[in-house]
Amino acid sequence: MPANGKSAAWSPLEVQLLREWTALGLGNAAIAHRLNFQCHGGRPVRTYNAVSVKRANSGITAAPPILAQEQKVEREESDGAISLKSVGTRIKTVADLLAHAEIDLAQFEVSRQKANTWDTSMRGEDGEPRTVQNFQIWVEVKPKAGPNVAEQVAAMVAGAFAKRPAVQRPTPARKGTTSTLMQAVVIADPHLAKYAWGRETGGVNYDLSIASRLVGRAAADLMAWGDERRPAVRYIFCLGDVLHYDNPQGHTSGGTPQDRDTRMAKMLSEAQSVLCGLVERSATACETRVIMVPGNHDRATTLTMQMVLAAYFRRSAGVSVDVEPTHRKYVEWGQCLIGLTHGDTARKRLPSLMQVEQKEAWGRSKVREWHHGHFHREASTVTEGGVTIREHLSLSPPDSWHAIEGYVGAPRGMDTLLYDARGFLQGTWRSPVLDG
Boundaries of every domain in the chain: 1-65, 66-144, 149-432
CATH class, 149-432 region: alpha beta
- Report if pTM > 0.75: no
**How would you list the strands of the sheet with 367-372, edge to edge?**
329-333, 336-340, 367-372, 387-391, 380-384
User: pLDDT tens across 267-318, in order?
Assistant: 999 999 999 999 999 999 999 999 999 999 999 999 999 999 999 999 999 9
Instruction: Count Cβ atoms below 10 Å from residue 434 Cβ, excluding itself.
Output: 11
Q: Is 127 exposed, middle or buried (0-12, 13-18, 19+ CB in 10 A)?
A: exposed
Spell out a b/e string for 313-349, using b for 16 or more CB atoms within 10 Å of the CB, else e. Answer: beebebbbbbeeeebbbbbebbbbbbbbbbbbeeeee
Least confident of 24-33, 53-62, 67-76: 67-76
Whether the CB-CB separation of 293 and 239 falls below 8 Å is answered with: yes
Structure confidence at residue 171 (pLDDT):
41
- The CA radius of gyration of the chain, in Å to the nearest whole number, is 30
Q: What is the mean pLDDT of residues 325-335?
A: 97
Which CATH number is 66-144's, of 3.30.110, 1.10.150, 3.90.220, 3.30.70? 3.30.110
Helices (H), ranges, 381-422: 400-405
User: pLDDT tens across 210-258, in order?
Assistant: 999 999 999 999 999 999 999 999 999 999 999 999 998 899 998 899 9
Structure confidence at residue 146 (pLDDT):
58
Q: What is the mean pLDDT of residues 140-167?
A: 61
38 pLDDT more than 70:
yes
User: pLDDT tens across 92-109, in order?
Assistant: 888 888 888 888 776 778
Q: What is the mean pLDDT of residues 181-198?
A: 96
| CA pseudo-torsion sign 379, 381, 384, 388 | positive
